[in-house]
């Protein structure tokens, strides 16, 4: 494993333990900008197609459930 890969895993582990970017940079003796870059890369959130902004997903997100929660499972597919 490369040193950068090991460093990325160390940074992620420390970040998940609750340390902030400045503290991690001090602990590992690396620039805080490098830590910020690594944190940004593993904090990127992928787009969830299941919550695409339509009415049903908005209502489910707001706590009103989905059609399936109320017994509707769509039209039968023949």
Domain ranges in the chain?
Answer: 1-44
Buried b (16+ CB within 10 A) or exposed e, 29-42: eeeeebbeebbeee
- Which pTM was predicted? 0.54
* pLDDT score for 61: 61
* pLDDT score for 69: 64
More confident residue, 50 or 14: 14
pLDDT tens figures, 32-53: 999 999 998 887 755 555 556 6
pLDDT over 70, % of the chain: 60
More confident residue, 1 or 26: 26
């Amino acid at each position: 494993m490369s040193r950068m890969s090991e460093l990325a895993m160390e940074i992620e582990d420390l970040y998940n333990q609750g340390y902030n970017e400045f503290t991690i940079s001090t602990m590992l003796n690396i620039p805080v900008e490098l830590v910020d870059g690594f944190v940004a890369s593993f904090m990127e959130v992928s787009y969830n197609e299941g919550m695409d902004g339509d009415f049903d997903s908005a209502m489910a997100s707001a706590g009103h459930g989905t059609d399936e929660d109320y017994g509707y499972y769509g039209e039968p597919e023949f």
